[in-house]
Amino acid sequence: MDRGRLAVLSAHLGAGEAKEDAPAAALERSAVSAASPPGALAVVDGRTGRRYEVKVSKEGTVRATDFKKITTGKDDKGLKIYDPGYLNTAPVHSSICYIDGDEGILRYRGYPIEELAESSSFVEVAYLLMYGSLPTQNQLAGWEFAISQHSAVPQGLLDIIQTMPHDAHPMGVLASAMSMLSVFHPDANPALRGQDLYKSKQVRDKQIVRVLGKAPTIAAAAYLRLAGRPPILPTNNLSYSENFLYMLDSLGDKAYVPNPRLARVLDILFILHAEHEMNCSTAAARHLASSGVDVFTALSGAVGALYGPLHGGANEAVLKMLNEIGSVDNIPDFIEGVKNRKRKMSGFGHRVYKNYDPRAKVIRKLAEEVFSIVGRDPLIEVAVALEKAALSDDYFIKRKLYPNVDFYSGLIYRAMGFPTEFFPVLFAIPRMAGWLAHWKESLDDPDTKIMRPQQVYTGVWLRQYTPVRERMPASQSEQLGQIATSNATRRRRAGNHQNLELEACVVILLTQCTLAVNLEFFFQAWRMKGHLWAEIEANLHWQLADQKYSHVLVMNYLIDCRWAMSHAGLGSSYSP
């Protein structure tokens, strides 16, 4: 075993050891008259003087519902735990991923991330996350085959992607396509096949390989749509990452083989991004899955959460920051701007890690591998110098701000030729494995219930309804603001419309209506003008016979006609 691996193992094995200089607990402690039993928390309510015992699990957790018994009287519904942002709330037990943010430790199913990145493959890691152990050679072969067999995407879905705007953001395409898979695979929908559908291991496993197989194909189709090129079908004779690059770059050449070193770099990046316990998108996936919704809809919601710039778009912000700095010479001024709160430093600091993000260390080494193939990005010099300056500055040291996974990943993606809007997609593809592992785990967890957080109500306690004609504007109430008219609407209104054209538009709108009582004022106006009355009357008789449109729809169309009427000389104020 080499020294590097020994160092990694030593760091991981020592992560749980107690520290002599550990800071004192932030909570004030006071003596309790009666000793508490082992594994229990003694709570004295200062409002009532009552003493309560709350069970503490061996993992060091308490059940939030146990605090409901702490009340001041019969009208008190008990204490609630107020935790905005879920800073210290654990809604699940999980055996998938372990993080020690203070020590900079990340493990998948007990394996240090550094070892997996060095020796494993993404497909192998996906199996580990899903089933709890690394696969045997035969298991791995069967796993790879099953994923490749489900890599094709329904032609109807590819057609839908092709009809999306040419500049549609790839994450929007991915989220939409994932939700559409539930339409193309109704056999996987508990809402259609019964709530017990996912109790079948066979059904679960099929959805897992479906998602892992189709996610790169959908992502590639979104990329090619952005480039104005038709989708490329996947091939079954390449690795997972090679197949993804093949779909992006082959241009239809079935003999094309991606650079193996770049494919390996991408595979390692996929490993590093595969799982990170209860982050925003994983929590969203588990939250949705708790309702019993199909797996594709749950994952679509997770993609939507990852689409948020605070979650999946940080590496793009790093690139923007490095471009703004521009040169190593400008770093001192930038650092001072950050300390004076005039500039924002992206790629540093993490909600969990108060040490160097272990993924960032691996990615930093990968950058040199990529640059040796495609050429060196000059921004890497700025990034390295910025990291060095920050890690030697007391301001950042005291705040425990270290480079995170996003600091160098954007540089690698850019060097490999990916547009910035595609960066979060490269995050989402591997994270499908983590989301699926949590989905699978939640189905087996006996504590899984439909997630329904509570709130602390701060609104008005009780009001009496007032009829609309008697109401006065509320001085402190928020109101609908001014909605800006689009430039296209301004352009259209600036033109010289002919009455005949407007009349034809109104006739089309009237064709959608049904209730004559709501249109009588309209008909009277048209009689006076003498325009197209016969056509309107014919449309009216047809609509009355059809009787398929609602009163609300009629009113909406009449409101839409207001502007057209005013320009046609029919008047702009009317009351149906």
Phi, psi of 404 (to 5 degrees): -110, -175
Cα 478 versus chain centre, distance: 29
Q: How far apart are CA 46 and CA 52, in angstroms?
A: 11
| C-alpha 220, offset from chain centre | 19
Give the long-range contacts of residues 536-539, CB within 8 A, separation 24 or more: 536/507, 536/510, 539/507, 539/510, 539/511
406 is catalytic: yes
Using CB atoms within 10 A of its CB, is residue 167 exposed (0-12), middle (13-18) or buried (19+)? exposed
Helical (H) or strand (E) element with 37: none
Query: 513-539 burial by CB neighbour count: b if 16+ within 10 A, else e?
Result: bbbeeebeebeebbeeeebbeeebeeb
Number of Cβ atoms within 10 Å of the Cβ of 61 = 12
Rounded Cα gap, residues 311 and 309, in angstroms: 5
Q: Which of 176, 186, 183, 173 is nearest to 222 (CA)?
A: 173
**What residues are paired with 100 via a beta bridge?**
105
Catalytic pick among 350, 357, 377, 438: 350
Would you state the structure tokens that stand for residue 318, as one six-digit string? 């790093």
Classify burial at 70, counting beta carbons within 10 Å of its beta carbon; exposed 0-12, middle 13-18, buried 19 or more: middle
Catalytic position from the list 276, 357, 406, 438? 406
Cα–Cα distance for residue pair 434/113, rounded to 1 Å: 14
Distance CA 513, CA 534 (A): 16
User: Annotated catalytic, 311?
Assistant: yes
Residue closest to 147 by CA, chosen among 130, 177, 123: 123
Distance of alpha carbon 78 from alpha carbon 73, whole angstroms: 9
Q: Which of 93, 64, 62, 65 is nearest to 445 (CA)?
A: 93
Catalytic residue among 66, 185, 205, 311: 311
- The continuous run of DSSP H or E covering 312 comes out as none
Residue written as token pair 């500039």? 343
Q: How far is CA 464 from CA 460, 461, 467, in A?
A: 11, 11, 10
- Beta strands (DSSP E) in 292-404 are none
- Chain length of the chain: 576
Kindly list the catalytic residues.
Answer: 311, 350, 406
